[in-house]
Amino acid sequence: MFRSTVGSLAALNFARMGHEVELYEYREDLRKQEYYPHGRSINLALSARGRKALAAVGLEQEVLSTAIPMRGRMLHNLRGQTSVVLYDPCHNQCLYSVGRKQINELLLNACDKFPNISCHFEHKLVGANINEGQLEFRLLPEQQPLEVQADLIVGCDGAFSSLRQQLVRTPGFNYSQEYINTGYLELCIPAKHGEFQMPPNYLHIWPRDSFMMIALPNQDKSFTVTLSMPFEKFAEIKTHEQLLDFFRLNFVDTLPLIGQEQLIKDFFKTRPQHLVSIKCQPYHYQDKALILGDAAHAMVPYYGQGMNTGMEDLTLLCSILDQQLPLDVSLAQFTEQRWPDAHAICDLAMYNYVEMRDLTKRLSFRCRKWLDTMLFRLFPTKWVPLYNSVSFSSMPYSQCILNRQWQDRVLGKALNITLFTGALAGIAGAFYIRRFR
Amino acid sequence: MFRSTVGSLAALNFARMGHEVELYEYREDLRKQEYYPHGRSINLALSARGRKALAAVGLEQEVLSTAIPMRGRMLHNLRGQTSVVLYDPCHNQCLYSVGRKQINELLLNACDKFPNISCHFEHKLVGANINEGQLEFRLLPEQQPLEVQADLIVGCDGAFSSLRQQLVRTPGFNYSQEYINTGYLELCIPAKHGEFQMPPNYLHIWPRDSFMMIALPNQDKSFTVTLSMPFEKFAEIKTHEQLLDFFRLNFVDTLPLIGQEQLIKDFFKTRPQHLVSIKCQPYHYQDKALILGDAAHAMVPYYGQGMNTGMEDLTLLCSILDQQLPLDVSLAQFTEQRWPDAHAICDLAMYNYVEMRDLTKRLSFRCRKWLDTMLFRLFPTKWVPLYNSVSFSSMPYSQCILNRQWQDRVLGKALNITLFTGALAGIAGAFYIRRFR
C-alpha cells in the first residue's frame, strides 16, 4: 500500500534491493489528473533528512531543481512591517518548498523505470489478515473484490492508515492519537502579473500569540496560506464583515494580496480542519507487516518535518536491512531504534507551534537565537542550535532534544556565573569606594 | 450493547427513568451456561463507589450478601510467613470479593423485572452508523443480519469496545492504549474438605519486587490466584522443573495449596495475558452515542477499581441526566466532568501495581501507612489516606491525587521543621555543654 511520497520512496528502495514490489493505492494515478486538488495539506518543506533519503535513490537534485529555497522566516507584524530571521546565518542552509504533485510524479516516474515495481491505482483496502499476509481490496469504481498475498505488507497509507487499524488490535501495540484544539484553513495569495506578490525565498509568518498564519511559496508564484487558530476563534467569525474586520486587525497586509472576495469565498467554503498527533510502537508485526511515514507517526505540521521523518524512516530501514539479518530481527531493530526519535519529533512539532505563533515575536527568543547563532559560528560542530540540528542535520531527533537541554544547562550556568561574578564585582567595588572615600 | 456488569446496570438506570431499553450482547445468556469460564479476569473487588451505584438501583444488600469481605492485605514473605495490613483500621471498612457470574446474574434478573428492558443475546455488532443511530448485528450462530435503530447508542462493551472503534475515527477523539510489559496468568487454590485453605477475609499478596502474586477468595471456598510478571520472566520458565524451582524459591507456601500437578497444568495451559490501560476523551458523540465502563477507561487491575469506576460512571451520568438538559449538553457535561477522574484512576491503578509488588514490603511504606492511619484516626474528615479515599469514599479520583499531594507536602514540611528544630536543639545543647563544662 502506498500513499504518495513515502510509499513510492519505499518501493524504490525495496526494488533496488531486488525485491518484487506491488504498489496499491486507493486514489487514481495523480499523473492522469487534470486538476490536482491542493487538498488539505500544508506545502511540503524539504530539509536535510528528506534530501538524504532522496539522494540515496539518486533523485535529490531532480527534486531540488523544481523546489523553492526558503532561507528563513519573514515575520509580519500587525502593521504589516516585516523582519527576517534566517534559519542558518552561518552556512546559509535552506528549507525547500516542494509541490506535493511534483515530487510524487517524479517518484512515480522513477518507479516506472523498475521492472520489479508494479503500480495498482484505485485499489481500496477493505480487509487484511496480517498473520497470513493477505490483503483484500475492492477495485474502484466497480468494487470488484481482489485478494492478494504478500511476504511483507508495508503500510505507507497515511495518518489514518488502514493497515495500522489492524495492528492496533494486536496485543502489545501501544497507540495514541491526540487532537489539538487548533483548526487550520487554507487560503491563497495568487501570482500577480506572473510574479510573486511577496518575497518568495522565505517562510512567511504572522505570529499572533494564540493563533498564526503562515505562507509558503509555490512554483506557480502563488503562496499557499494556512491560518491556524483555536476552533472557538474560528466559530466567532460568522459574517463576511467579521472576517474582514478580523483580517484588517490581524493580517492587514494580506488583504490586498489575497483579495477580499477570494478571502470570503475560501474562508467560508470549508470548515477548519483538525490536526492530530499520532504515536505508536511497535511499527512492525513479526516478519509480516510494517508501517512507515505518517501511518507510524503523524505529527502537527509546524516543524515541516512530517515528510522528512517519513523519508528518514527509509534511510534507517535500509541501513538495517543491509545487514542481512532475519527479517523479524531487522524489523524489531527498526522499531527499537526508530520509535524514540519518532516520538521526539512529534513532541518537537507540537512545541514549534508555540514557537511560531508566540515566541518568534519575543525579545528573549531573538536574544537566544542571536546567542545560538554566535556560538554556532564559533563552535560549528559543538554548538548546533535545535532548529538547525532538526532541519539541517541527521542527528537523531531524540538527540536533538538532549542536545538542546544540554545547551540550556550550559547557558543557565553561564548566566549564574555572570550574575555571581557581577555581584562579587559590585560588592568589591562598593567596599573599595567605602574604604577610600 | 452491554457486556455484563456496567451494561446491565446502565439498562436498569435508564429503565427507571422510563426509557425503552434494548440490550444487545455478543455472548449467550450466562444464566444458561452450565460452566462459566473463570475467563481471563481477576475477581471483582467491590468497594464504596460500586456499592453506591448498586444502592441507587436497590441491589447493594443483595450483592453484598453473596460477597466475601476482605479486611486488608495479607502479605506472604519468601519463607511463607504472613503479616496483615488492614485497609482501614479506624472504621473497619472492607473490600468485597464478588463473583462475576453472581453479580451479573443478579443484575440480569433485575433487568427481567422491567417491562421496558429487552435483552438480546448472541448478537454480534458488525457495523454502526453513529450519525444515523444505526447498528448492524449478526445473530449467532447462523449469522442472520439485523439492523436496528436507536435514539442513543450506549456502548458498555469493554476494553476492546466495537462502538469505541467507530468513535476513534471521528475527528477530535483523543485516544491512547498503553500495554504494560507485564503479563498475567491465573492459577487456583482449591477448597480442601469444603474449607478455605487460607484465611478468607484478606487479599493475599506475595510481593516480590519486579513481580507478584495475589489471591482473592471465591464463594466456593477456592482462591483465584493471579501471577503478574514481566513477559521475559515468564519466558524463562520453560520446563516443569524450572516452574517448581521458581515456586519453591518465591511462593513456597502456595505449592502444597495449589498442588504441583495442577500448577504445572494451569501454568503451561495458556500463555500469559496482556494488560492494557485505555484512556480516551470525549465519551460521547453529539446526542447519538456514549461509551461507559471499560469501553471508556480500561485500566490495569491493580487497584480493584475497574468495575467500581464503571458503576460510578452511572452515578454521575444519572445525576446529570436528572437535570433534564438537552441530551447533547448532558452528554458533553458527562465527558467534561468524567474524563479527568477516569484518567486519574487509570494512573493510580498503574501506580498501585508498583505499590503492591514492591512498596508494601518496605519499612518506609509501612511507616507512612502507620502515620496516615494515626492522622486519619485523629482527623477522620481532614486526613483521608489515598487508599481510603479511592476505595472507601466517593471523592473524585483526581481529587484523591491532589489530596495525597497535599498530604505529602504537609509531611515534607513537618519533617523539615522536625529536622530544623532537632538541629537547633542540638546546637543549643552543644553550646550549653561548652559554656558550662
- CB-based contacts of A291, cutoff 8 Å, min separation 6: A154, A155, A156, A161, A163, A164, A167, A280, A283, A284
Most B-contacting residue of A174, A234, A278 (CB-CB within 10 A), to test interface: A174
Residue B350 forms contact with A (CB below 8 Å): no
Lowest-pLDDT range, A40-44, A74-78, B32-36, B285-289?
A40-44
Element (H, E) at A426: helix A397-436
Strand runs labelled E in B81-143 = 82-86, 95-98, 117-120, 123-129, 134-139
Residue B128 neighbours by CB distance under 10 Å:
23
CB contact under 8 A, A169 and B160: yes
Chain A residue with minimal CA distance to B281? A178
Nearest CB to B177: which of A175, A273, A274? A175
CB contact under 8 A, B169 and A179: no
CB contact under 8 A, B274 and A172: yes
Chain B residue with minimal CA distance to A281? B178
The stretch A379-403 carries a mean pLDDT of 92
Calpha distance B238→B227 (Å, rounded): 16
CB contact under 8 A, B175 and A172: no
Most B-contacting residue of A126, A173, A175 (CB-CB within 10 A), to test interface: A175
Chain B residue with minimal CA distance to A231? B172
Peptide bond into A141 cis (omega under 30): yes
Chain A CB contacts of B178 under 8 Å are 174, 176
Specify the pLDDT at position B353. Answer: 83
| A324 pLDDT above the threshold of 90 | yes
Specify the pLDDT at position A436. Answer: 62
Calpha distance B414→B409 (Å, rounded): 9
- CB-based contacts of B245, cutoff 8 Å, min separation 6: none
Alpha-carbon B417 to chain mean position: 38
Chain A residue with minimal CA distance to B168? A177
With contact defined as beta carbons under 8 Å apart, do B170 and B309 qualify? no
CB contact under 8 A, A176 and B179: no
In sequence order, what DSSP letters do the residues of A270-304 get, joined into one string? SPPBP-EEEEEE-SEETTTEEE-GGGT----GGGS
Peptide bond into B326 cis (omega under 30): no
Residue A417 neighbours by CB distance under 10 Å:
10
Specify the pLDDT at position A368. Answer: 85
Most A-contacting residue of B162, B177, B339 (CB-CB within 10 A), to test interface: B177
Residue B160 forms contact with A (CB below 8 Å): yes
**A30-47 per-residue burial string, b: 16 or more CB within 10 A, e: under 16:** beeeeeeebeebbbbbbb
Distance from CA of B230 to the nearest CA of A (A): 13
Residue A270 forms contact with B (CB below 8 Å): no
The stretch B88-99 carries a mean pLDDT of 90
pLDDT: is A99 or A284 the higher one?
A284
Lowest-pLDDT range, B5-9, B392-396, B412-416?
B412-416
Nearest CB to B274: which of A171, A177, A178? A171
Specify the pLDDT at position B36. Answer: 53
Strand B95-98 relative to strand B44-46: parallel, antiparallel, unpaired?
A: antiparallel
Tell me which residue of A310, A407, A317, A291 sits closest to A349, measured CA to CA.
A310
Residue type, B364: S
Chain A CB contacts of B168 under 8 Å are 177
Element (H, E) at A83: strand A82-86
| A165 pLDDT above the threshold of 80 | yes
The stretch B340-369 carries a mean pLDDT of 85
Specify the pLDDT at position B39. Answer: 40
Specify the pLDDT at position A3. Answer: 55
C-alpha distances in Å from residue B80, one per residue of B76, B200, B221, B251, B256? 5, 16, 21, 7, 12
Specify the pLDDT at position A129. Answer: 94
CB contact under 8 A, A179 and B171: yes
Question: Per DSSP, what are the bridge partners of residue B74?
Answer: B84, B204
Chain A residue with minimal CA distance to B166? A165
Most B-contacting residue of A179, A232, A271 (CB-CB within 10 A), to test interface: A179
Residue A160 forms contact with B (CB below 8 Å): yes
Calpha distance B29→B8 (Å, rounded): 12
Specify the pLDDT at position B437. Answer: 58
Calpha distance B26→B119 (Å, rounded): 11
C-alpha distances in Å from residue A296, one per residue of A6, A11, A343? 11, 17, 10
| A424 pLDDT above the threshold of 80 | no
Residue B40 forms contact with A (CB below 8 Å): no
Specify the pLDDT at position A35. Answer: 61
The stretch A304-322 carries a mean pLDDT of 97
Residue A435 forms contact with B (CB below 8 Å): no
Specify the pLDDT at position B316. Answer: 98
Q: Which three cell numbers stand for residue B132?
A: 444515523
Specify the pLDDT at position A55. Answer: 97
Residue with cell 468497594: B47
CB contact under 8 A, A174 and B174: no
With contact defined as beta carbons under 8 Å apart, do B232 and B187 qualify? no
Calpha distance A391→A375 (Å, rounded): 18
Distance from CA of B40 to the nearest CA of A (A): 14
- CB-based contacts of A311, cutoff 8 Å, min separation 6: A5, A6, A9, A49, A50, A52, A53, A54
Chain B CB contacts of A273 under 8 Å are 171
Distance from CA of A345 to the nearest CA of B (A): 18
CB pairs under 8 A between A and B: 36
| A40 pLDDT above the threshold of 60 | no
The stretch A335-340 carries a mean pLDDT of 97
With contact defined as beta carbons under 8 Å apart, do A24 and A123 qualify? yes
Chain B CB contacts of A175 under 8 Å are 175-177
| B1 pLDDT above the threshold of 60 | no
Q: In which band, very low, low, confident or very high, does the pLDDT at B33 lie, cut at 50, 70 and 90? A: confident
Specify the pLDDT at position A37. Answer: 53
Percent of chain B at pLDDT above 90?
74
> How much is the ipTM here?
0.83
Lowest-pLDDT range, A117-121, A409-413, B241-245, B329-333?
A409-413
Residue B230 forms contact with A (CB below 8 Å): no
Specify the pLDDT at position B32. Answer: 84
Most B-contacting residue of A170, A176, A271 (CB-CB within 10 A), to test interface: A176
- What φ, ψ does residue A264 adopt, rounded to 5°? -60, -45
Specify the pLDDT at position B374. Answer: 87
Distance from CA of A59 to the nearest CA of B (A): 36
Q: In which band, very low, low, confident or very high, does the pLDDT at A202 lie, cut at 50, 70 and 90? A: very high
Nearest CB to A175: which of B173, B176, B274? B176
pLDDT averaged over every residue in chain B: 91
Adjacency order of strands within the sheet including A153-155: A153-155, A289-291, A284-285
Q: In which band, very low, low, confident or very high, does the pLDDT at A69 lie, cut at 50, 70 and 90? A: very high
Chain B residue with minimal CA distance to A276? B172
Q: Which three cell numbers stand for residue B74?
A: 495479607
With contact defined as beta carbons under 8 Å apart, do B403 and B387 qualify? no
Residue B173 forms contact with A (CB below 8 Å): yes
C-alpha distances in Å from residue B18, one per residue of A87, A234, B11, B115? 65, 40, 11, 10
| A38 pLDDT above the threshold of 60 | no
Calpha distance A385→A365 (Å, rounded): 13
Percent of chain B at pLDDT above 70?
95
Calpha distance B391→B348 (Å, rounded): 12
Tell me which residue of B169, B276, B400, B16 sits closest to A171, measured CA to CA.
B276
CB contact under 8 A, A174 and B177: yes
pLDDT: is A153 or B413 the higher one?
A153
Chain A residue with minimal CA distance to B160? A169
Calpha distance B373→B89 (Å, rounded): 7
CB contact under 8 A, A177 and B171: no
| A1 pLDDT above the threshold of 60 | no
Percent of chain A at pLDDT above 70?
95
The stretch A410-415 carries a mean pLDDT of 85
Interface of A with B in 121-140 (CB under 8 A): none
Nearest CB to B174: which of A169, A171, A178? A178
Chain A residue with minimal CA distance to B181? A172
The stretch A131-147 carries a mean pLDDT of 93
Element (H, E) at B188: strand B174-189
Helix (H, G, I), strand (E, B) or coil at A74: strand
Residue B178 forms contact with A (CB below 8 Å): yes
Specify the pLDDT at position B129. Answer: 94
Calpha distance B92→B425 (Å, rounded): 40
CB contact under 8 A, A177 and B179: no
pLDDT averaged over every residue in chain A: 91
Helix (H, G, I), strand (E, B) or coil at A370: helix
Specify the pLDDT at position B266. Answer: 94
Calpha distance A336→B140 (Å, rounded): 42
Most A-contacting residue of B174, B180, B350 (CB-CB within 10 A), to test interface: B174
| A414 pLDDT above the threshold of 80 | yes
Distance from CA of A278 to the nearest CA of B (A): 10
Residue A416 forms contact with B (CB below 8 Å): no
| A163 pLDDT above the threshold of 80 | yes
Query: Which pTM was predicted?
Result: 0.87
In sequence order, what DSSP letters do the residues of B228-284 get, joined into one string? EEEHHHHHH--SHHHHHHHHHHH-GGGHHHH-HHHHHHHHHHSPPEEEEEEEEE-SE
CB contact under 8 A, B176 and A172: no
Residue B232 forms contact with A (CB below 8 Å): no
